[in-house]
A and B are shown apart, each in its own frame.
Chain A
Amino acid sequence: MNTLSSITGPVVDVRAATKVYTTPGGDFPALREVDLHVSAGEFVAVVGRSGSGKTTLLNLLAGIDHPMSGEVWIGGTAVHTLGERHLAAWRGRVVGLVFQFFQLLPTLTVAENVMLPMDFCDTVPAKRRRTAAVELLERVGIGEQADKLPAALSGGQQQRAAIARALANDPPVVLADEPTGNLDSATAAAVLELFAELADAGKAVVMVTHERDLTGVAGRRVTLVDGRVDADVAVPA
């Protein structure tokens, strides 16, 4: 397993993070002093109304955005202090990202999409990449689709491929922004189940979602209201 998982304490540690967008109409606080702690093996669902700051929070975790104040620690790294140059390589190894619109590269096959992070981060020896990618695809249940182009896959299959890609470098943290938003409910349930399995396997999973029924999937539910953490409760198993 990843060396980071040996670190004690929360893998995700957000302390009083504030994010303000400057717009022509004035400053707009999208996040206000948000605290969030997620340990390895935990599955946290972030919910809230549209515009409440969910994506903004996820962007801070992934180092895509920087907080105006507060701190973001991931696996012992102070992400808020990293520059763009170090962020890319760090992100590739530590964070797996899954988007609502899958975002597979259209001219690469599914397997090649999964191999891409291994290539950029040079984590898996070139010869073993293909085998590793197919293993991951089998793990998410689409091993037989490995050599198709993304356009030939259904939405659910594409999202599974995207999850496999997020796992390519075996990151300790998996972040997902409405990964089921574009899927029918049966497919969505299967994808949620997949994330739950990842958490069971020891990853810290943070997922923004509009799904109502998270019973038996997520362990905690964090509710954002106007950029503040309104509730952080355990979900009944």
Chain B
Amino acid sequence: MRPRTVKLARDLWVARGRVTVMVVGIAVALSGVGALLIARSVISRESAAAYAATNPASATLDVEGGVDAALLSAVRARPRIVDATARQTIFTRVLVEGQWRRMLLFVIAPDDPLTIAGFRVESGAWPPPDDGLLIERAADTILHANTGDSLAVAGPTGATTSVRITGTVYDPALAPAAQERTGYGYLTPAALERLGFTPVADQLKITVGSGTVDRDQSTVDAVARDLSGWLTSNGQRVHQIQAPPFQHPHQRQTNAVTALFLAFAVAALILAGALVASTLGGMLAAQTRQIGVMKTVGATTGQLLRMYLSAAVGIAAVATVLAVGPGLMAGYGLVDLVGGLLNVDIADRSLPWWVPAGFIAAGLGIPVLVALVPILRAARITVRAALDDHGAGSRVGLRRSDRWLARLRGNRTVLMAVRNLMRRRSRLALTVVLLAAGGALFTGGLNAASAWRAWVDNGLDRRGYDAELELAQPAPADTLLAAVREVPGVTAVEPALSVAATPADAGGRIEVQRTYPDGGHGRFTLTGLPPGTGMLDLEILDGRWLRPGDHNGVVLNQAASTRLAGPAIGAEVGIAVDGQVSRWRVIGVVAEVGGPAIAYTTPDALAPITGADRVSAIRIRTTGDQQTVTDRVETAIAASGATVTSTMPTSELRNAIDGHIVIFVYVLVVLAALMATVGVLGLGSAMSITVIERTREYGIMQAIGATPRVVRRLVLTEGALTGAIGCFVAIALGIPLSALIGDLLGRLSFGLPLPLQVSVGGLATWLVLIIVGAVGATLTAAQRAAGLTIRETLSYQ
């Protein structure tokens, strides 16, 4: 072996403790990068594939009175339509252990070839018998029932009929039942009739294209509009067109959140790179004279550069190899977790080529690039400067900026520690940056997590009602409210009147709706609320809330505002209900957590559309047992002749929202912990370098009478000081970073930036972690410094 290789190997062996820290630092961060690369690539691909495999309808047209076989074949024969089928969807309820749950019934004729919006039967057989249905396999947790059990499904009058579950299907085109808190059932028109509903196949589902299916949104919209026009000219009434984006309803969020997490992991890796830079920098600084000697015997800058760079590459390579196992495990763990959460089967677990390539590039590239900084500096030092090097910070006091050091007064240990810190400013700076960045990401992550929760809490607190009961049909308000008010346990009642609506563009043309088949994602409603409502107190983002007499004014929630392309206050917007476009003036924009896109207006303003004094939902505040009270309210409503289709306790809404975000909050916290680990490792390594550099000095101190205790205290103080500086910078950096993360997460989950929330617990945790970490990391070094004998230290080269 070449002597320079031997030297490098032995030097690394001598510093094996620090080398281990570097390797562990990179390996930990790189495992995170690997895991997220795997999770992101596999989940995006598989959920897209699973979604596409169902061949979802390009568009769904609601045709009044239904579509018969003749019309269907006429539609199929139309240009640019690949296939068509007619279905029906019923929103109803199911009684699960005494509680009402939302239930979505997909009604499909037995002879439907299931080529559009298909599903895979996992158990039982399609079609089910007339007294049975199949459920989506992920709905069992919501329905608390499985194959063989019976469900009490509400009919149009509210009365329930027992239906047997005869099997399960896998339908990855739907948002998972558990997250939506909705049961999904699949049954035939005959079975629907048995429940009391009238089977009408009024949903015309088409796939668009010429020969092959074309998923281009504008093509789909155009063909669907065109078909709608043709149907209308043939005497049909088309109520609405739905053409959701061709992707899983949660795909965009999943992509964006995993991208954010990947960014986090890469940041951790850059931190680990900084850790390597600081540690290598320290090791190189201790070798300055040796570098000078090597240059005097003929070593060129390039040779030294290659030599030390190969050490960095070696360290990074070992770390990369070590990160493969944990990265794979965590990655596929995450894949299964998120796959389960999205109700997507991971059919293909293979990785695209760019995942291993990116992993290796990140593992070797980032640490080596960062380490290049100290290596370049060390390799380029002139012989003169190298030979003049007399150890750590011998030039201290020569800089003008050092003069204040001499004037410092106070506790001797702290004073010495401060002066010592100033001797290696660039290392101090790097350590502080490391701690600060780690801390900023840690607190930033926790702050965003806590803001997320706070935002949900706050959003739900702003709902002053305990439950909302939706009616099958709008009913007369006065009689209904009076009846509900009489119910014991009801302390307040308010009406709400919602109609499904569509934003219309400036030309008055009806926008194609983006609602998914679950009826929830992408929904838009026009809702009338009493202006002085005590049940809803939404945060005003712009403009003002409704006032009595706002005849053509609407207040948009953020989702509605986005759907209407963010109109200014005072702007006019067109909203279509049942094909009729009406014009409204925007008077305010509000923030709302959960729920669809809503344009709020007064009930009076809705009267021309729905008729006067109508109500489609009742919001109640209750005392006592909520379930009992809601049951009584339902009875009262039924007695007054109306039918409840869904009861949504506010607590259930919270479960639905939490179901969407909880996992991501946890992942965020885990990543934050990763950052903290790298930060503390960095501090420990910096302190150990410091001690090694000053070995001789500690010997001299002991020779002139300092006890080991004094030496230990000095080193510990220095470590704690570094930690403290790092902490303050971390907090300062963490706040804007939290705002940034919160902004991104909020936009993804609620369409609004999250308010900045400082997690006091997070800050305290970080402080404690750093102080304990700093002391712990420094303790080994301090112990070593104090334990050195004078002879050892003075003979130290």
Q: Are A117 and B301 in contact (CB under 8 A)?
A: no
Q: How many of chain A's residues touch chain B, expressed as a range?
A: 35 or more
Q: Are B300 and A85 in contact (CB under 8 A)?
A: yes
Q: Are A121 and B6 in contact (CB under 8 A)?
A: no
If A64-B383, A64-B387, A85-B301 touch, whether A119 touches B4 (CB-CB below 8 Å) is yes
A42 to B: closest C-beta gap in Å: 22
- Report the Cα distance A87→B386, complex, angstroms: 15
Residues from 364 to 423 in B contacting A, C-beta threshold 8 Å: 382-384, 387
Interface residues, chain B, with chain A CB atoms under 8 Å away: 2-4, 6-7, 10-11, 14, 289-290, 293-301, 303, 382-384, 387, 797
What are 21 A-to-B residue pairs whose CB atoms are below 8 Å?
Answer: A62-B383, A64-B383, A84-B382, A88-B299, A88-B301, A88-B383, A91-B298, A93-B298, A95-B296, A103-B293, A106-B290, A112-B7, A116-B4, A117-B297, A119-B3, A120-B294, A120-B297, A120-B299, A120-B300, A126-B2, A151-B797
B496 to A: closest C-beta gap in Å: 80
User: Which one of B3, B295, B299, B797 lies within 8 Å of A115 (CB-CB)?
Assistant: B3
- Report the Cα distance A108→B293, complex, angstroms: 13
**In the assembled complex, which residues on chain A have CB atoms less than 8 Å from the CB atom of B384?**
59, 64-65
B4, B6, B14, B300: residue with the most chain A Cβ atoms closer than 10 Å: B300
Any B CB within 8 A of the CB of A168:
yes
Number of A-B contacts (CB under 8 A): 81
Q: Are A92 and B2 in contact (CB under 8 A)?
A: no
Any B CB within 8 A of the CB of A169:
yes
User: Which one of A64, A119, A165, A168 lies within 8 Å of B2 (CB-CB)?
Assistant: A119
Q: Are B10 and A107 in contact (CB under 8 A)?
A: yes
B399 to A: closest C-beta gap in Å: 11
User: Which one of A103, A108, A121 lies within 8 Å of B3 (CB-CB)?
Assistant: A108
**In the assembled complex, which residues on chain B have CB atoms less than 8 Å from the CB atom of A119?**
2-4
- Report the Cα distance A99→B3, complex, angstroms: 21
Any B CB within 8 A of the CB of A89:
yes
If A88-B301, A106-B797, A119-B2 touch, whether A64 touches B7 (CB-CB below 8 Å) is no
If A103-B289, A106-B797, A108-B3 touch, whether A116 touches B297 (CB-CB below 8 Å) is yes
If A116-B3, A120-B294 touch, whether A108 touches B10 (CB-CB below 8 Å) is yes
Any B CB within 8 A of the CB of A199:
no
Any B CB within 8 A of the CB of A105:
yes
Q: Are A84 and B301 in contact (CB under 8 A)?
A: yes
**In the assembled complex, which residues on chain B have CB atoms less than 8 Å from the CB atom of A121?**
298
User: Which one of A65, A85, A129, A169 lies within 8 Å of B298 (CB-CB)?
Assistant: A169
A204 to B: closest C-beta gap in Å: 17
Q: Are A112 and B6 in contact (CB under 8 A)?
A: yes
**In the assembled complex, which residues on chain A have CB atoms less than 8 Å from the CB atom of B10?**
107-108
A27 to B: closest C-beta gap in Å: 17
**In the assembled complex, which residues on chain A have CB atoms less than 8 Å from the CB atom of B301?**
84-85, 88
Known: A84-B382, A116-B4. 12 other contacts (CB 8 A): A64-B383, A65-B384, A88-B295, A88-B299, A91-B296, A92-B297, A99-B293, A107-B11, A108-B3, A108-B7, A108-B10, A112-B7
B10, B14, B298: residue with the most chain A Cβ atoms closer than 10 Å: B298
B386 to A: closest C-beta gap in Å: 9
**In the assembled complex, which residues on chain A have CB atoms less than 8 Å from the CB atom of B290?**
105-106
Q: Are A116 and B300 in contact (CB under 8 A)?
A: no
Residues from 106 to 135 in A contacting B, C-beta threshold 8 Å: 106-108, 112-113, 115-117, 119-121, 126, 129
- Report the Cα distance A91→B387, complex, angstroms: 15
Any B CB within 8 A of the CB of A97:
yes
User: Which one of B7, B297, B303 lies within 8 Å of A165 (CB-CB)?
Assistant: B297
Q: Are B298 and A92 in contact (CB under 8 A)?
A: yes
If A103-B289, A107-B10 touch, whether A89 touches B2 (CB-CB below 8 Å) is no
Q: Are B300 and A88 in contact (CB under 8 A)?
A: yes
**In the assembled complex, which residues on chain A have CB atoms less than 8 Å from the CB atom of B3?**
108, 112-113, 115-116, 119, 129
If A59-B384, A106-B797 touch, whether A64 touches B296 (CB-CB below 8 Å) is yes
In the complex, the 3 A-B pairs of residues with the closest C-beta atoms, listed nearest first? A92-B298, A107-B10, A117-B297
Residue interface bits A44-68, CB-to-B below 8 A is 1, else 0: 0000000000000001001011000
**In the assembled complex, which residues on chain B have CB atoms less than 8 Å from the CB atom of A97?**
296-297
- Report the Cα distance A88→B387, complex, angstroms: 14
- Report the Cα distance A165→B296, complex, angstroms: 11
**In the assembled complex, which residues on chain A have CB atoms less than 8 Å from the CB atom of B289?**
103
**In the assembled complex, which residues on chain A have CB atoms less than 8 Å from the CB atom of B14?**
107
A103, A106, A108, A120: residue with the most chain B Cβ atoms closer than 10 Å: A120
The chain A residue sitting closest to B292, CB to CB, is: A103
User: Which one of B11, B294, B298 lies within 8 Å of A89 (CB-CB)?
Assistant: B298
